[in-house]
Amino acid sequence: NAGVMQNPRHLVRRRGQEARLRCSPMKGHSHVYWYRQLPEEGLKFMVYLQKENIIDESGMPKERFSAEFPKEGPSILRIQQVVRGDSAAYFCASSPLPLASQETQYFGPGTRLLVL
C-alpha cells in the first residue's frame, strides 16, 4: 500500500505564474488536508477536503489559492499569480475517516515551491 504521494517534489516558478501541486492520498482514504510550512516557521492548516467537497478552507488565503479533490484523480492545490511569499513547503495528509473520529493522518513528502 503506497503512502501519500505528492508531486512534484520541487517546483520552481517565476512571479506571476501558476503553481499546481498534486496529492494522491493513500488507497482507501477519502479525506485530504493541505498544510503550508513557510521557511523557519511552523506548519499552518490550509484546507480540508473530502471527495468533491471542501469541508473547511478557513486557512486558505482568500485570493489566488484554490483546492479541489475530484471524484477521480488527485487533490490539487492551485496557486495563481505566485509571489515570492508563496515560497514554502506544502504538505498534504490523508485519512480514511474524518479526524473527528479519532483517526490519524498520514503525511506526504511535501512539495517545495520556490518562486523566483
- Give contact residues for other proteins (rule: CB under 8 A): 33, 35, 41-45, 48, 55-56, 58-59, 89, 91, 93, 98-100, 102-107, 109-110, 112
Give the DSSP H or E segment for 111: strand 111-115
Question: Which residue, 82 or 105, is less far from other proteins as judged by CB?
Answer: 105
**Residue in 92, 61, 90 with CA at minimum distance from that of residue 74:** 92
Question: Which residue, 74 or 110, is less far from other proteins as judged by CB?
Answer: 110
User: Residue 80: how many CB atoms within 10 A of its CB?
Assistant: 13
CB of 14 to other proteins, least distance (A): 24
**Residue in 94, 92, 104 with CA at minimum distance from that of residue 6:** 92
Phi, psi at 9, each rounded to 5° = -80, -30
CB of 16 to other proteins, least distance (A): 27
CB of 116 to other proteins, least distance (A): 21
